[in-house]
Amino acid sequence: MKLKLFAAGLLASLPLFAAATARAQDINGAGATFPNPIYSRWFSEYSQQHGGIKINYQPIGSGGGIRQVTEGTVDFGASDGPMSDQQLQASKIKIVHIPTVLGAVVPTYNLPGVNAELKFSQDALAGIYLGKITKWNDPYIARENPGINLPDKQILVVHRSDGSGTTYIFTDWLSKVSPEWNGKVGKNTSVSWPVGVGQKGNEGVAGMVRQAPYSIGYVELIYAEANHMQFGLVRNHDGKFIKASTSGVTAAAAADARNIPPDYRVSITDAPGADSYPISSFTWLLIPNPAKDPAKGKIIVDFLNWMLEHGESEAASMTYAPLPKAVADRVHQTISQLH
C-alpha cells in the first residue's frame, strides 16, 4: 500500500517537475559591445521576471557574434553591422535580423588643457584616420574651431582591433563622406587601418583614450557618457555640426524610415536633415529561424515581444534611441513569424 501511494505521488508530481524543468533554461548569445549596456539590463530584468530563465550574453564584438550564430554555437547573435548577402548565403542556418534600438558613434578625444567641445568635419575625421592629418593644430581641425588653442602635438589614433559593429558604423559613414576612404579602406566590421593602435571592444577604446593624452577614438555614445569623456560635434549631411544625442539619432532614423527594407538591413549613416546625427545606426539581434531548440526558440520569441512592449521604454535613459513606432509595429509582425 505504501509503495502504491508513493508511486501515485511520484506520478502526480511529474507534471510539476517537467514544467519546472521546461522553465529552467539557459539562453546563450554573443556579439556586439555597442548595445551591451542595455542588453545586460534587459536580459537581467527579463530573467528576474521569468523564473528559471537565464540569458547569458558575451560582448565579444559583432564579428564574433556573426561567426558564432552562423556556426550554431549560440542561440542568438548580435551585430551593429547587418550581415552581408555573402554571409547570409554561407550561413548554415537561416538568420533573421531583428532591430532592437538605435545608437550613435562619437569621436572621443583626450586633449589636455582643452575643455571646449571640438567640431569635426568629414574631411578632418577621414584625414585623421587615413594618417594624413597628424597634429591637433592641423588647419583642417583649426579652421572649424576658431578661438581654441589647439596644441602642436601628434594625434594618437585609436581604433578597434576586433571584428566590430561600431567599426562598421564608423567606416560606413567614412565611406559615404570620403571618396578617398571608400577607395583605400572601405567599410566592414574589420578593416586594414592605415594608422593607429587597436583595442578590443568599446571598453578598450574608451580606456585607451582616457589614459593616453592627445589621443582620439570612436565609441558608442553611452561609453563616452559613462566614462565622462569629451566627444566632438560632427558635421552632418546638411552641413550642420551636431552633438550626438538620442534626438539626433531619432531624426536620422526618421529621415530614412521609408527606405527600411523588409529584412531591416539598412544603413542610416549620413542621413539627410538638419537635426540628424550623421554617425547613427540600428543594432540588431540575429535570430536563427527555425530555432535549433524549439523550447529556447519560444523563450527568445517571448523575450523579443517583452523587449518591444517593455524594454524600449528604457532606451532613452541609457542614451539609446527606441525604435520608431512604424518600425516597432513591423518588427512585431516579423517576430510572430519566428518558430
CA atoms within 13 A on the CB side of 158: 26
Q: Which residue do the cell numbers 521604454 mark? A: 313
Give the pLDDT confidence score for residue 92 in this predicted structure.
86
Mean pLDDT of the chain: 92
Domain range spanning residue 49? 26-103+280-335
Query: Span 10-30, mean pLDDT?
Result: 57
Residues 211 and 191 grouped into a single domain: yes
Over residues 50-71, the pLDDT tens digits come to 999 999 999 999 999 999 999 9
Is the same domain home to 137 and 201?
yes
Task: Write the pLDDT tens digit of every residue in 221-264.
Answer: 999 999 999 999 999 999 999 999 999 999 999 887 778 899 99
| Same domain assignment for residues 173 and 91 | no
Residues 241 and 233: their CA atoms lie apart, in Å, by 6
- 3-state secondary structure at position 215: strand
Q: Nearest-CA neighbor of 207 among 227, 225, 193, 221?
A: 227
pLDDT the model gives residue 339: 85
- Cell numbers 523587449 label which residue? 307
- Which segment of 11-15, 187-191, 235-239, 268-272 scores lowest on mean pLDDT? 11-15
Whole-number pLDDT of residue 2: 41
Q: What is the reported pLDDT for 54?
A: 96
Residue 202 pLDDT: 92
Please report whether residue 21 resides in a domain: no
Same domain for 151 and 73? no
pLDDT at residue 317 is higher than 50: yes
Mean pLDDT of 30-51: 96
pLDDT in the model for residue 241: 98
What is the distance between the alpha carbons of residues 230 and 228, in angstroms, rounded to a whole number?
7
Query: Could you report how far apart the first and last alpha carbons of the chain are, in Å?
Result: 47
Instruction: Please name which of 339, 315, 330 lies closest in space to residue 98, comparing C-alpha atoms.
Output: 330
Q: What is the domain-level CATH number for residue 78?
A: 3.40.190.10
Judge if 184 and 235 occupy the same domain: yes
Residues with Cβ within 8 Å of residue 322, at least 6 apart in sequence? 101, 102, 312, 313, 315, 316, 328
Are residues 234 and 298 located together in one domain of the fold? no
Q: Is the pLDDT of residue 4 over 50?
A: no
Q: Are residues 124 and 190 in the same domain?
A: yes
Going 40 to 199 to 271 to 89, the CA torsion angle's sign is negative
Q: Are 199 and 134 in contact (CB under 8 A)?
A: no
pLDDT above 70 for 43: yes
pLDDT at position 11 is: 40
Q: Are residues 131 and 247 in the same domain?
A: yes
Question: What mean pLDDT comes out for the span 124-129?
Answer: 98
Give yes or no: residues 327 and 284 share one domain.
Answer: yes
Which residues lie across from 28 on neighbouring strands? 56
C-alpha closest to that of 28 among 305, 296, 306, 338: 296
Q: How many CA atoms lie within 13 A of 67 on its CB side?
A: 10
| 3-class secondary-structure state, position 210 | helix
pLDDT grade for 15, boundaries at 50, 70 and 90: very low
Tally of domains within the chain: 2
Same domain? For 114 and 193 the reply is: yes
Residue type, 224: A
Contact present, 105 and 218 (Cβ < 8 Å) = yes
Domain membership of residue 99 (yes or no) is yes
**Contact partners, residue 179, CB within 8 Å, separation at least 6:** none
pLDDT at 5 exceeding the cut of 50? no
Q: Please give the sequence-ordered ranges of beta strands (E in DSSP) within 15-155, or none if there are none.
A: 25-31, 53-58, 76-79, 95-110, 119-120
Of the candidate ranges 23-27, 127-131, 328-332, the one whose mean pLDDT is the lowest: 23-27
In terms of domains, do 219 and 318 share one?
A: no
Residue 258: per-residue pLDDT: 73
Residue 171 is assigned to a structural domain of this protein: yes
Q: pTM, whole model, 2 decimals? A: 0.88
pLDDT at 98: 98
Residue 85: per-residue pLDDT: 95
pLDDT of residue 7 exceeding 60, the answer is: no
In a domain, 88, yes or no: yes
pLDDT, average across residues 327-335: 95
Stretch 84-111: mean pLDDT, rounded? 96
252: left (phi over 0), alpha (psi -120 to 50) or beta: alpha
- Angle (CA) 55 58 62, round 5°: 120
Of all residues in the chain, what percent carry a pLDDT higher than 70? Answer: 93
Residues 138 and 35 in one domain: no
- For residue 267, being part of any structural domain is answered with no
